[in-house]
Amino acid sequence: MKKTIVGLLDELKSGATTSEALAKAALESAKANAADNAFVSLDEEGALEAARAIDAKRAAGEKLGALAGIPLAVKDNILAKGLRCTCGSKILGNFVAPYDATATERLRAAGAVIVGKANMDEFAMGSTSETSASGPVTNPEWPELIPGGSSGGSAAAVARGTVPAALGSDTGGSIRQPAACCGVVGFKPSYGRVSRWGLVAYASSLDQIGPMANTVEDAALLYDVVAGHDPHDSTSATRPAPATLPELKNGDPKIRIGVPEECFGEGLDPEMREVLQKALDDLKADGAELVKVSLPSLKHAIASYYIIATAEASANLSRFDGVRYGHRSPEAKDLESLYRKSRSEGFGKEVQRRILLGTFVLSSGYYDAFYVQAQKVRRLIADDFAKAFASCDVVATPVLPGPPLKRGEGLKDPLAMYLTDIFTVSLNLAGLPGISVPVGSCGGSSASLQLVAPAFEETRLLQSAWRLERLRR
Ligand code: GLN
């Protein structure tokens, strides 16, 4: 069992280790496993300096934050002042963050030591972590399989044991999927729970930052630190974000778990079905009631998601124009060729495909046929969940339809890759919190169950995930 944040905090408190020793070990592990490509950059100097400062504070008996001395990784689309923020793209290859994202700032304020920036699919567009300008990420547990994406570097760094936890971002599954592929826990909070200030936007109405960790408890701890209103992000929720950790173990075992018929039928790998069913049966034996629910609009989720996400991406990525940020083509002769060449040279193939798709679905004549229809489907999906939650407390679904793809498969067939998002994108469309919890193995690698709660019911969600995890260990 890899070290948990909770375990490391105990070791730090008792003096069994120091924050500096932990930071050094994390940096050494990252360098020793450089072939994983889990990191885009390391902050050796900054991490050691921050760690020593925490050790000094501890020695002086000063009050310490909830993550004091814990080494963490942050996905490379979340700004950390003074460090490069490439988003896995050549276009931002030399971009240095001028300020901290709110999530980063809150980690630092809690005493966390940020050791580096985690690799990812370019601009978070993908499910395989193979499209980064820094090269593909390796799955430390099952190297012939993809580590999942787009937060593959964060998942790999946790699975490798380099850091006990990391921040990822999730627009359509990018926290939950790589967590499932690498056998760790991945938690996407409700839309609006964690500030997006300083998160480089992919699709602003879907993007959320969240934790990836070895245990539900660690994920809850990290979530509690980063959650809560931020005046810098107008979409961040103003309602209070109650701490989940103190309530984690107080969940009701008699919880009603909704099992959508659409999620466990055709299209799901039979071995995956069997493993997930076993996890549901265990929850039932623990006191839970399994309730049949239906999500009839789920079949349209992928189409709706890939219209809305690409539409928003085409607008968000227009800021990378070779003038204000990043790569500028040296060949440009006039303004138009500056835009065209800088963008053609700076963006990879998948990102270009998404910008083209997004521009198309927003263009006059197609807007009503695609974009407006997709927004209607988005509403239907949210309504489906609302109906389901009338008869259950949480909903359970697979995270992936089968074992992770083999390396290279998704690159050859983008549509096949998009289809693996079937169980994750609907939560982003509906703004709901979801967590991916490893429950067994499938095809020789990991299988995870996704639990979903109504918006802003993070405590309930984490309580049920904690019970599930407890049954599996
Ligand atoms: N796989 C999805 C996509 O490619 C989700 C990515 C994400 O959540 N950032 O858009």
Residues 391-428 have pLDDT tens digits of 999 999 999 999 999 999 989 998 889 989 999 999 99
| pLDDT by residue, tens only, the chain of 473 residues | 689 999 999 999 999 999 999 999 999 999 999 999 999 999 999 999 999 999 999 999 999 999 999 999 999 999 999 999 999 999 999 999 999 999 999 999 999 999 999 999 999 999 999 999 999 999 999 999 999 999 999 999 999 999 999 999 999 999 999 999 999 999 999 999 999 999 999 999 999 999 999 999 999 999 999 999 999 999 999 999 999 999 999 999 999 999 999 999 988 999 999 999 999 999 999 999 999 999 999 999 999 999 999 999 999 999 999 998 899 999 999 999 999 999 999 999 999 999 999 999 999 999 999 999 999 999 999 999 999 999 999 999 999 999 999 999 989 998 889 989 999 999 999 999 999 999 999 989 999 999 999 999 999 999 999 999 999 75
Question: What angle do the packed helices 458-472 and 270-285 form, to 10 degrees?
Answer: 100
Ligand 1 near 131 CB (within 6 A): no
218 Cα–ligand 1 center, Å: 24
Q: Exposure of 315 by Cβ count < 10 A (0-12 exposed, 13-18 middle, 19+ buried)?
A: middle
| pLDDT value, residue 1 | 65
The CB density around residue 473, as the number of other CB atoms within 10 Å, is: 7
Residue closest via CA to ligand 1's atom 5 equals 172
- Distance from Cα 95 to the centre of ligand 1, integer Å: 23
Long-range contacts of 56-62 (CB under 8 A, 24+ apart): 58/12, 58/19
Q: For ligand 1, is residue 427 a contact (CB within 6 Å)? A: no
| 63-96 confidence digits (pLDDT tens) | 999 999 999 999 999 999 999 999 999 999 999 9
Q: Two tokens at 25?
A: 């070990």
Which ligand 1 atom minimizes the distance to the CA of 171?
8
Contacts of 317 (CB under 8 A, 6+ apart): 123, 347, 351, 355
Q: Is 174 labeled as catalytic in the residue annotation?
A: yes
* Catalytic position from the list 89, 150, 151, 446: 150
Which residue has its alpha carbon closest to ligand 1 atom 10? 125
- Cβ of 187 less than 6 Å from ligand 1: no
Q: What is the DSSP letter of 90?
A: G
Domain ranges of the chain: 5-248
Alpha-carbon distances of 221 from 133, 166, 177, 462, rounded to whole Å: 32, 12, 21, 11
Given 29, 75, 151, 464, the catalytic residue? 75
Q: Whose CA is nearest to atom 4 of ligand 1?
A: 126
173 pocket-lining for ligand 1 (C-beta < 6 Å):
yes
Q: How far is CA 381 from CA 213, 366, 375, 426, in A?
A: 29, 22, 10, 7
Asked if residue 183 has its Cβ within 6 Å of ligand 1, the reply is no
Which of 71, 132, 407 lies closest to 151 in space, CA to CA?
132
CA distances from 102 to 167, 230, 232 (A): 12, 8, 8
So what's the pLDDT on residue 266?
Answer: 87
Q: Which atom of ligand 1 is nearest to the CA of 309?
A: 10
**CATH number given to 5-248:** 3.90.1300.10
281 to 122, 272, 278: CA distances (angstroms): 39, 14, 5
Give the type of residue at 277.
Answer: Q
What's the gap in Å between 170 CA and the centre of ligand 1?
7
Q: Is 13 among the residues known to form the active site?
A: no
Strand 394-398 and strand 256-260: the pairing is parallel
Our mutation pick for probing the ligand 1 site, out of 122, 202, 419, counting the most ligand atoms within 8 A of Cβ, is 202
How many other C-beta atoms are found inside a 10 Å radius of the C-beta of residue 90? 18
